[in-house]
A and B are shown apart, each in its own frame.
Chain A
Amino acid sequence: MAIWKLIKAQFKHKKAVYISLFLLTLLISFILTFAFSMSKNISEAAEEAYQAGKYGDVCFFYIMDTPSEEELEKLAEREEVRDLRKIPVVFPLATNAGIISDYKIATPWFQAYNPDIFNARLLRDDMKSYVPKEDASAPSDGEVYVANLFHFMTGAEIGDSFHITSTNFNKEYRISGFVEDLRQVNAVNMGGNSVFLSANDYEDLAMLAQEFPAEFCESFFLSVDKAPEFSDLSDDDFVNVISRGTDIKDMARIILTGEQVIYFSSIMSQIIAMIIIFVALLMFIANLLILNFNINSSLEAEYKNIGVLKACGLQKGHIQRVYLLSFLLTIGLGFGLGLLIASPVVVVSTPLLLGIFNLLVSGQTAWLLSSGAGLVILVIALLMMLVQLRKVTKIKPREALNEGQQSVYFSQGIDLQLKKPFLHARLSVKQFTASLHQYLSAVLLIAVLFFLVLYTYSLTNILESERMVQEFYGLDFDIAVRYEDTDSETKEKTEAVIEEYTPILSREYMEYADIEVNKNSLGLFIADNTKVLSSLLEGKKPEFDNEIILTKLFAQMHNIQIGDMVEVYSKGKTEDYLVSGFFQSLNRAGMMALMKDSAFRRLDVEDDQSNEILYKIEDPSYGEEIAEKLFQEVPELYVISSEGIQKSMTGVDAIFAGISWLMLGIALLFVIINGIMVSVKIFYREAADFGIFKAIGIRNSANRLIFSCRFLFVAFAGILIGYVLQLVLAPQLNNLLAPMVGVSTFVVKIEWFIIIIFALLFLIAFFLIAWAVSGRIKRLEIRNLVNAI
């Protein structure tokens, strides 16, 4: 068929265009498929692990304070409760109670391996699948199973020794297996590290806890399942209903519902997938621009050919079909191949995910989702091409044949006298301004690319651990110590330990309580001094006894504005408070409030909340060391350092940064491919002029300079627009991302010098690309250049 001949000719003569278009689409398709598959697989793995793990609809974790047996019995009898499982754990109070080889686990908890009440799935030795539940027996006496994250954190292997050490107890165990435990997956992190023992060994430890209450404490997790009749009840409401009038909720150190566990265990992958999809989306927009640019310049370059074809009797439909088919074929093939290539990459990379997410993730490709996205892309590209190709209709054979080529320049450009010095730069400016509209799409493209790069870069530091603590944790402190009684000697002892390292700059008292605001449960920071709040987003900090601030996320969820009165409930008492502002905090997935100590007294006169002092120290880098020292010296204290939090997040933020840098790399690759495409196009469009310049004796280097300089201007204009895009669009995009981690805003932080470096990189890259492309001047004979049409 004639059409296929023409399409073949298109492919043959414009190899570069089609190949780069193909590569770009492949890249986009690849990363999309990868992101979709990864995120789908991880959510499914989390969901499956949750189902298999008997986690329960809600799980309470108690330390020290535990609800009474009566309360539990009553709870079990409630009609809303289907099942209730108590999972005893021994929690060491002394530091370094668990040791694997040389690695000290700060907060291990020990529990008997019993799949009937808590099914931590046992991994096979190759860590690629699970031992079926029927075959998974508890470790023998003297052996332990540890959570799989140990393997990745410490390099511990099966057969390694594991010690439990305290003043009065020292025993060596052998690690005989790794298990999956959702309580310490990725962002869930309940703070402990699971170690599973045989029933006998566990009994010994429990006895020990009785004997030496200063060294070990026995406590429990409480898993509660909803009765089927109450499945409509949300997990949060369920918690509120079953705990009303009891200590069940108030005494719990941690409460996590099933929904939250699934959410947190896959949240990182969702965020990463979101980011990848954003980047792909931006690339797609750039790709559309490139396609647009290509069709435009193809039509220009083939103006005459189209005229000839029309004159020979081909209908415009034929011609349009040639373009449509050739571009669609290229995009379709690129997309298909990207999908196919992504598939094995997904398979290969899933075992790595176990180390990152602590979940066994299947290596399935999200075919349906990815090809759906591909279809959408194809349709959008098709629509855009149809709009572009309407131009074919307007080409009149006679004019096209007479004119030969549509005139490249429509104007003279700016009025700039040609003279020495900088003759060639001046010439370049003239050429550039004369065909400004031709460069418009190139400028737009560079703008999108620059935005893409800036935005991806800004993502690399958005989840930086330091920022997480400062901006997202919500409180400004270096060390937080939870005291039984802040007036005790322990406080003096503690502060003496701190001051051994570095002077204490300030101490702020802080309490923590569970409340309900307009009947929705929330965590509450109770501050003596609101100075500690480091993440106020809007409004003002609470000053008066009737003021409260809420996380913006919570406020948005429940449609609360600054200035609204809200009903705050705590322990049987309800009071009205005025919302004076919004802040953000990662605590409890962003569901937090904060008020002054005196304000809280209106609700609760008894002071039975746990007390915390937030310290600022002169040299914060001692934070972790101090926390460790305190653990040894004053073991009954609960100490966290922001250094420690940061360190605990470094795993996550390293993955995040890694992905973002990878995306940045891909974006830069994308920029280079696009840069080459654009400059090749423009070069051929202006080849005749270069021929003329060459013929009249302008040296190749000067000629190349005339060409390349223009790309400096194009890049410069693009960079400016791209920067504006970043200013305008990045916050919008981030506002979509932020609620996923439980905050309402990510502040885009790009240092000036980074922007300047990227801008320079762009300028240099585009100049060099143009310089390299214009190297063709050397190879081309003047006659070919001059006669090039």
Chain B
Amino acid sequence: MSKAILDCKDLSKSYAHEGIQNHVLKHIDLEIRQGEFTVIMGPSGSGKSTLLYCISGMESCSGGSVYLHGDDITKFNENRLSDIRLQNFGFVFQQIHLVSNLSLLENIVIPGLSRKSGSNKEVYAKADSLLQTFLLEEAKNRLPSQVSGGEQQRAAIARALINQPDIIFADEPTGALNQNNSTIVLDLFTRLNQEGQTIVMVTHDRRAALRGGRIIYLLDGRIHGELTLAPYDEDMLKSRETQVNAWLESLSW
């Protein structure tokens, strides 16, 4: 077994709203290992997004610890968390969230340039190679509003990758995309994972979930079940689908 990059122990999160505590995450233990493609599923409101934001250092937790390479990031101050988001993590949103007045290329290079190390040239070279892999060469100087949703999401993924993060977190990355664009994005994730990229993805979509090597089912703020799958293989899709469907049905999804 490969080593754990991220290890969360007894993670809890609650929101206080008008005096009432709403416990969204309840004592979650979760390990993310090097090279894994983890998919988080669960009904709406079960706390998937919250879990993702908590373990990626974007939101504070109410209890428990999240260890990144052995350091508890819940104890980090804002600046160290920022640095971790910059260097160790990449994030992909459902609503894509590119900065609307910057071109795709500019959106991609910002995290690269924000690092202390690395020259301008290296960052732009890396961005160019990502644009090439993501077939965005032509669109790179256009504004987000001037490209398709799929292209936008690919650019967002490229942005997440520019600093070669340890983990990519994606919250419903295909949620705002049509079928065709969804497949392109998912293929990209699969390819990245095959190249060794660790990914944690939240999704509603069963077909998206099939891409994972491990599916975690969240219900009411707890991990309700976990399924480990064989490495993704286009040819074995049918049997993979039946396996996942049966598992989800057993959890009364």
- A688-B97, A778-B78, A783-B53 are contacts. A695–B85 as well, Cβ < 8 Å? yes
Query: A201 vs B200: C-alpha distance in the bound complex, in angstroms?
Result: 107
Would A418 and B113 count as touching, CB distance under 8 A?
A: yes
Interface: A520 (CB within 8 A)? no
Question: Interface SS of chain B: helix, strand, loop or mixed?
Answer: helix
- A407-B145, A408-B100, A419-B113 are contacts. A786–B93 as well, Cβ < 8 Å? yes
Q: How far is the CB of A471 from chain B (nearest CB, A)?
A: 53
Would B101 and A435 count as touching, CB distance under 8 A?
A: yes
Q: How far is the CB of B15 from chain A (nearest CB, A)?
A: 10
Would B114 and A407 count as touching, CB distance under 8 A?
A: no
B residues near A418, Cβ cutoff 8 Å: 102, 106, 109-110, 113
Query: A698 vs B102: C-alpha distance in the bound complex, in angstroms?
Result: 16
B residues near A411, Cβ cutoff 8 Å: 101
CB contact between B59 and one of A412, A419, A699, A783 (< 8 Å): that residue: A783
In the complex, which residues 383-422 of chain A have their Cβ closer than 8 Å to any Cβ of chain B? 407-409, 411-413, 418-420
Would A782 and B53 count as touching, CB distance under 8 A?
A: yes
Q: Which stretch in A426-434, A505-513, A764-772 binds the other chain?
A: A426-434
Interface bin, chain B: 35 or more
Interface: A697 (CB within 8 A)? yes
CB contact between B84 and one of A413, A692, A694, A697 (< 8 Å): that residue: A697
Closest to B80 in A: A699
1/0 per residue, CB under 8 A from A, across B90-107: the answer is 010101011111110010
A residues near B14, Cβ cutoff 8 Å: none
Q: How far is the CB of A209 from chain B (nearest CB, A)?
A: 88
Query: A693 vs B109: C-alpha distance in the bound complex, in angstroms?
Result: 12
1/0 per residue, CB under 8 A from B, across A686-712: the answer is 001101111111111110000000000
Interface: B159 (CB within 8 A)? yes
Question: Interface SS of chain A: helix, strand, loop or mixed?
Answer: helix
- A427-B110, A700-B78 are contacts. A692–B145 as well, Cβ < 8 Å? no
Would B99 and A689 count as touching, CB distance under 8 A?
A: yes
Would B159 and A696 count as touching, CB distance under 8 A?
A: yes
A residues near B160, Cβ cutoff 8 Å: 696
- A412-B101, A688-B97, A689-B99 are contacts. A699–B110 as well, Cβ < 8 Å? no
B residues near A538, Cβ cutoff 8 Å: none
Would A692 and B143 count as touching, CB distance under 8 A?
A: no
Query: A413 vs B102: C-alpha distance in the bound complex, in angstroms?
Result: 9
- A412-B102, A700-B82, A783-B59 are contacts. A695–B113 as well, Cβ < 8 Å? no
Closest to A423 in B: B113
Closest to B142 in A: A412
Query: A781 vs B60: C-alpha distance in the bound complex, in angstroms?
Result: 9
A residues near B59, Cβ cutoff 8 Å: 781-783
CB contact between A697 and one of B95, B100, B103, B111 (< 8 Å): that residue: B111
Query: A700 vs B84: C-alpha distance in the bound complex, in angstroms?
Result: 13
Would B82 and A699 count as touching, CB distance under 8 A?
A: yes
In the complex, which residues 441-499 of chain A have their Cβ closer than 8 Å to any Cβ of chain B? none
Would B91 and A696 count as touching, CB distance under 8 A?
A: yes
CB contact between B114 and one of A423, A435, A700 (< 8 Å): that residue: A423
Would A783 and B49 count as touching, CB distance under 8 A?
A: yes
CB contact between A696 and one of B53, B78, B100, B110 (< 8 Å): that residue: B110
Would B143 and A697 count as touching, CB distance under 8 A?
A: no
B residues near A778, Cβ cutoff 8 Å: 78
Would A430 and B102 count as touching, CB distance under 8 A?
A: yes
A residues near B86, Cβ cutoff 8 Å: 696-698
CB contact between B103 and one of A412, A419, A695, A702 (< 8 Å): that residue: A412
Query: A423 vs B83: C-alpha distance in the bound complex, in angstroms?
Result: 16
Would B82 and A694 count as touching, CB distance under 8 A?
A: yes
Q: How far is the CB of A788 from chain B (nearest CB, A)?
A: 11
Would B101 and A697 count as touching, CB distance under 8 A?
A: no
Would B113 and A700 count as touching, CB distance under 8 A?
A: no
Interface: B120 (CB within 8 A)? yes
Would A419 and B120 count as touching, CB distance under 8 A?
A: yes
- A413-B101, A786-B93 are contacts. A696–B120 as well, Cβ < 8 Å? no
Interface: B87 (CB within 8 A)? yes
Q: How far is the CB of A697 from chain B (nearest CB, A)?
A: 3
In the complex, which residues 13-50 of chain B have their Cβ closer than 8 Å to any Cβ of chain A? 49
Would B83 and A699 count as touching, CB distance under 8 A?
A: yes
In the complex, which residues 678-692 of chain A have their Cβ closer than 8 Å to any Cβ of chain B? 688-689, 691-692
B residues near A435, Cβ cutoff 8 Å: 101
1/0 per residue, CB under 8 A from A, across B145-182: the answer is 10000000000000110010000000000000000000
Q: How far is the CB of B48 from chain A (nearest CB, A)?
A: 13
1/0 per residue, CB under 8 A from B, across A652-690: the answer is 000000000000000000000000000000000000110
A residues near B106, Cβ cutoff 8 Å: 418, 430
Interface: B58 (CB within 8 A)? yes
Closest to B50 in A: A783
Interface: B189 (CB within 8 A)? no
Query: A366 vs B143: C-alpha distance in the bound complex, in angstroms?
Result: 59
Would A407 and B100 count as touching, CB distance under 8 A?
A: yes
B residues near A782, Cβ cutoff 8 Å: 53, 58-59
Closest to B169 in A: A695
Question: Which of B49, B83, B97, B98 counts the most chain A CB atoms within 10 A?
Answer: B97
Query: A389 vs B101: C-alpha distance in the bound complex, in angstroms?
Result: 27
A residues near B83, Cβ cutoff 8 Å: 697, 699
In the complex, which residues 67-90 of chain B have their Cβ closer than 8 Å to any Cβ of chain A? 78-79, 82-87, 89
A residues near B49, Cβ cutoff 8 Å: 783
1/0 per residue, CB under 8 A from B, across A310-347: the answer is 00000000000000000000000000000000000000
A residues near B79, Cβ cutoff 8 Å: 699-701
- A418-B106, A420-B120, A697-B85 are contacts. A692–B101 as well, Cβ < 8 Å? no
B residues near A692, Cβ cutoff 8 Å: 97-99
Query: A423 vs B119: C-alpha distance in the bound complex, in angstroms?
Result: 12
Query: A413 vs B49: C-alpha distance in the bound complex, in angstroms?
Result: 34
Query: A105 vs B58: C-alpha distance in the bound complex, in angstroms?
Result: 78
Nearest 7 CB-CB pairs, A to B? A697-B86, A697-B85, A409-B101, A434-B101, A699-B82, A419-B120, A782-B58
29 A–B contacts, CB within 8 A, in A order: A407-B145, A411-B101, A418-B106, A418-B110, A420-B119, A423-B110, A423-B114, A430-B101, A692-B98, A696-B85, A696-B91, A697-B84, A697-B86, A697-B89, A698-B82, A698-B114, A699-B82, A699-B83, A700-B78, A700-B82, A778-B78, A781-B53, A781-B58, A782-B53, A782-B58, A782-B59, A783-B49, A783-B59, A786-B95
Q: List 8 other contacts, CB 8 Å, given A413-B101, A691-B97.
A: A418-B102, A427-B110, A688-B97, A689-B100, A697-B84, A697-B111, A700-B79, A786-B93
